Structure formats: C-alpha cells, structure tokens
Amino acid sequence: MTAESAAGLGVPWAMALLPDGTLIITERDTAEVKRLVDGRVEVIGVVEDALSSGGEGGLLGVAVPPDFSDVPRLYLYYTSPTDNRVVSMSYDGNGLGETAAVLTGIPRANIHNGGRIKFGPDGYLYIGTGDASNASLAQDPASLGGKILRVTADGAPAPGNPFDSAVYSLGHRNVQGLAWDSTGRLWASEFGPDRDDELNLIVPGGNYGWPLVTGAPGEERFLDARVVWPSTATSSPSGMAIVGDVAYIGGLRGERLWRVPLADGSAGEPASFFDGAYGRLRDTIAGEDGGLLIATNETGGSRILRVEMQ
C-alpha cells in the first residue's frame, strides 16, 4: 500500500526522523530544512551557504545524533562555494539556530558530491563522499573524496579507523546510500559511470576499486560489489533503508524501488517495484511503523510517500 504524506516539494534530497516522530527533510536547490508534522510541511531553517552551489551540489544529507533528546541538533551535509562540508545546527523545537563546523574540506564539483550522512550503531557519524569529478581522489588515502568517512560527533577521526584519519573505506565513485543490517554490517549504494551501479558491503579499510575497476570483476586488490546493476538505465541507486535484513533502495534514473534480501553478508537477487510510477526516487528511510518513507524527485512537484512492503 502506498499513501502520500506530503506533496508540492522541490527537490527533496534526504530525510531523518526525530525521536518524537517528526520527519526532517532537506531540499537540495532551495537549501531549506523542512519538517513534516501532522501533514503540514514547515521551513525550519535555510543553509544560506549552500544556495549558489548548482549542479548536483546544494543542501544534501541530514542526520540525527544519538543524544538528540539531551542536546537537540541536526547534522547537515552541503556544498559550499569552496568545499563540501558537514555542520551541526542547534534545534529548539521552532527552528534551527547556531551552526558549528564538524568536517570541512571535502572536495566539491558540479557533480559527484556524495552527501549521505548517518550515525551508525556505534554512535559515530558515517559520511559518503564522491570523487568530485577527479577519479584519482578515490584511490588517494590522503583525500576525503571518493570515500566513506567515520568521525566523532565533533568531526575527529573515530577510534579504530584503519588509516588513523577520517577515512573508513576508499575507491568509491559517488556514495549515495548508507544503512546497517541487523548484525551491524554497513552497506552502501553507489553510482557507477555508464554501467555497474553497485551495492557494497563495507569493511574497514576496504578498497572498492574506482576508478581502476567497477562492479565485481574478481580483481584481488579490490572488494567486489555484492550487487551489480549492469545498466544504469534501471538503477542509479540512491538513498537506502534496511528493514528486517532487506535493503530498499530508491532508483533515480531507474525510477523504481529496489528490494534486495541480505543474509550473512551476502545479497540476494534484486526485485523492483513501482517502475516509473513516481518518477525518480531520491531517498528511502524506515518509518516508525515498519514501513518506508520515500522522497521522490518528480518534475512539477515532489512528494514524500509512505509505503508498506509485504
């Protein structure tokens, strides 16, 4: 069953739920942070520094920290005039306030800005970045581009990181989705070039091959993707939720929802739903009721959909 929770949005990019069930939504092009309460959409803040980004840049990811109830603030990833960065902004129930820098200096470009951020089960912040149109950055452990990063709430490298830096894994082209299964394994969805979109099982220090390889070629220096979509026309996997050890991934170019069963670090055969019914699907998160919330990027007005998967 599919129901509409909100309509008339611009380009929603990411969603997150507050402890009280309030849905937070970021809009890429307007740089507005919105909330959905009782069917009403309200603007609670604007990230002015993200307004002139253009292309795939702008206001992107949002995350709610584990201690939100004690210290209410939101974490936001956006493209500034000079870089991609993560900040935290205080939240007083009415709107956003004071801004504090968390991590700056992530390479930016017109495309491949990454942008997904989520707090993991270990309490640390995970950040998916893109190669910022410079593929060589993905293999450079000194660069924050083309990586999955893992940091503390203040932006310091998290304890136990494999390179004594913020870098957790490397060799990524443009990470778009992050989610954990029931055993705490991290999975990431990623755009390929003109082929080989990927779903990857992420391990600390893992090298996923971009730009030297894509997909699952069996090259011993790199980790193969667990799912490969050979044609980007049916996929372009974006935001992802894992519910009951099943990954649900929104497809942008593919304009569909992908369902992938997960077990013991392996991924089963993908199946698609809603093919072309709602346009581009940008983000997918787990709802409070065990269903899904999906943000569309439709022409002429985007929506938040509430979906019950059988």
Q: Using CA atoms of 50, 53, 55, 60 in order, give the dihedral in degrees to the nearest 10.
A: -20
Predicted local confidence at residue 123, as pLDDT: 98
Tell me, what's the pLDDT at 289? 83
Q: What is the pLDDT at residue 53?
A: 84
% the chain with pLDDT above 90: 93
Tens-place pLDDT, residues 95-128? 999 999 999 999 999 999 999 999 999 999 999 9
When pLDDT is cut at 50, 70 and 90, the band that residue 23 belongs to is very high
How does pLDDT run across 53-78, given as a tens digit for each residue? 889 999 999 999 999 999 999 999 99
pLDDT surpasses 80 at 93: yes
Percent pLDDT > 70 in the chain is: 99
112 as an active site residue: the answer is yes
Specify the pLDDT at position 288: 87
CA distance 267 to 280: 24
Residue 303 has a pLDDT of 96
- Mean pLDDT on 271-277: 96
CA atoms within 13 A of residue 205's CA, in its CB half-sphere: 6
Which residue in the list 73, 112, 226, 280 is annotated as catalytic?
112
Query: Does pTM top 0.95 for this prediction?
Result: yes
pLDDT in the model for residue 300? 77
Tokens coding 122: 């270990």
Quote the CA–CA distance of 192 and 235 in Å, as a whole number. 10
pLDDT-based confidence at residue 295 (cuts at 50, 70, 90): very high
**CA–centroid distance for 162 within its chain:** 22
- Tell whether the model's pLDDT for residue 309 goes beyond 90: no
Report yes or no: 107 and 144 within 8 Å, Cβ to Cβ.
Answer: yes
Distance, in Å, from the CA atom of 76 to the CA atom of 94, rounded to the nearest integer, reads 17
How far is residue 152's CA from residue 4's CA, in Å, rounded to a whole number? 36
Q: Please state, in angstroms and rounded to a whole number, the distance separating the CA atoms of residues 196 and 189.
A: 11
pLDDT bin (cut points 50, 70, 90) of residue 3 is confident
Pairing of β 96-106 and β 117-119: unpaired
pLDDT tens digits for 189-235? 999 999 999 999 999 999 999 999 999 999 999 999 999 999 999 99
Q: What is the mean pLDDT of residues 3-32?
A: 94
Q: What is the mean pLDDT of residues 162-188?
A: 98
pLDDT score of 212: 98
Say whether pLDDT at 1 is over 80: no
The pLDDT of residue 124 is 99
For 259, left (φ over 0), alpha (ψ -120 to 50), or beta?
Answer: beta
pLDDT of residue 310: 66
Bridge partners, residue 240, by sequence: 249
What pLDDT score was predicted for residue 52? 82
Which of these ranges, 4-8, 74-78, 133-137, has the smallest mean pLDDT?
4-8
Look-up: residue for tokens 């065990």? Answer: 290
pLDDT-wise least confident of 22-31, 78-87, 170-179, 295-304: 295-304
